[in-house]
Amino acid sequence: MRMLLLALPLGLMACAQPDPSTILSPTGYRGSDDPCRKVTSGFILNQYGRTGTDLVACPLGYDGVADLRDRYGATLVISGDGNAIYRVPRG
Burial of 69 (0-12, 13-18, 19+ CB in 10 A): middle
For residue 28, what pLDDT is reported?
A: 95
| Dihedral (Cα; 53, 45, 38, 18), 10-degree rounding | 130
Q: Which helix (H) or strand (E) holds 88?
A: strand 83-89
Torsion of CA 75, 49, 43, 86, to 10 degrees: -20
Residue 11: pLDDT band (50, 70, 90) is very low
More confident residue, 11 or 78: 78
pLDDT tens per residue, range 17-36: 456 678 889 999 999 999 99
32-87 pLDDT per residue, tens: 999 999 999 888 888 888 999 999 999 999 999 999 999 999 999 999 889 999 99
